[in-house]
Amino acid sequence: MTKLNGKTVLVTGATDGVGRLLATELGAAGARVLVHGRDRARGEDVVKQIRAAGHTAELLLADLASLAQVRRLADAVKATTNGLDILINNAGVGSGGDDGERQLSSDGHELRFAVNYLAGFLLTRLLLPRLEAAAPSRIVMVSSLGQQAIDFADPMIERGYSGTRAYCQSKLAQIMFAIDLDAELKAAGVSVNSLHPATYMDTTMVRQSGRQPLSTVEDGAAAILKAALAPAAETGGRFFNGLNEARANPQAYDAGARAELKTLSEQLTGPA
């Protein structure tokens, strides 16, 4: 893998599954890894593993179901580095299935939209000065092939709730955000990509859903690392299925829908 000596990387959701593997591999490549998670014991275990191999890592705790904690996470990143070379928005919650109970974040937003999308939207916005300072830099949105068009008349799915629908809306929102953000930041030297890393990786989220894993976290990590490290000309503003470029849900390419999503996101998260 590309040597990353002197580079600083933030991986959200880095205490389990593909996020944990990403953190250890990025550390092995020489990066200073900012390990995000909710659980201190698991986070400290990841940091210990990276440091034991002779590399550099720091733990940053935050519950992404709280926008206040997202802001504190951004402040912690800013306090520890003047430049952020790679941001991997990997943290997320699963669908809970079609019959999953509708849950709310601490801010009163539908939980999957809040954690999978709004947290990354706000965190990324807050960290843009650090990413621009480190340009050429990268942002990666770990999304999914599971996508469903957002109903802007009911984005929090207060009617006819389905956990699967909520998850798929949140994942499409990530892709829409990545497309717009890449266009916005291209002149500043910041490249933004989104991807479906692998189908039903062998992770806690997949096992808890009752699904049979079909791929490994190594498969997913390889795809995410390609999106994060490949030359910008090969990646910026695109959606990938694993290692290959793919097409997302048609709504992702609707400029009007993306503008509506941006307005909604700014209203829900407040000023960056």
Q: What does the pLDDT look like over 114-139, one tens digit per residue?
A: 999 999 999 999 999 999 999 999 99
Question: Of 30-34, 100-104, 147-151, where does mean pLDDT reach its minimum?
Answer: 100-104
Kindly report the pTM of this predicted structure: 0.94
End-to-end Cα distance, the chain: 34
CATH numeric code, 8-269: 3.40.50.720
Is residue 167 part of the annotated active site? The answer reads: yes
Q: Which stretch of 22-31, 192-201, 251-260 has the lowest confidence by average pLDDT? A: 192-201
Average pLDDT over residues 74-88: 97
Provide the 10 A C-beta neighbour count for residue 110. Answer: 22
In DSSP terms, 139 is beta-bridged to 87, 192
Kindly list the domain boundaries of the chain, sorted by start residue: 8-269
Looking at this protein, which amino acid is placed at residue 7?
A: K
Catalytic residue among 117, 167, 200, 253: 167
> To the nearest whole percent, how much of the chain has pLDDT over 90?
85
What gap in Å lies between CA 160 and CA 171, rounded to an integer? 19
| Cα angle value 200/118/197 (rounded, 5°) | 25
Taking the C-alpha atoms of residue 87 and residue 9, their distance in angstroms, rounded to an integer, is 6
In this prediction, residues 56-69 reach a mean pLDDT of: 98
Amino acid at 75: D
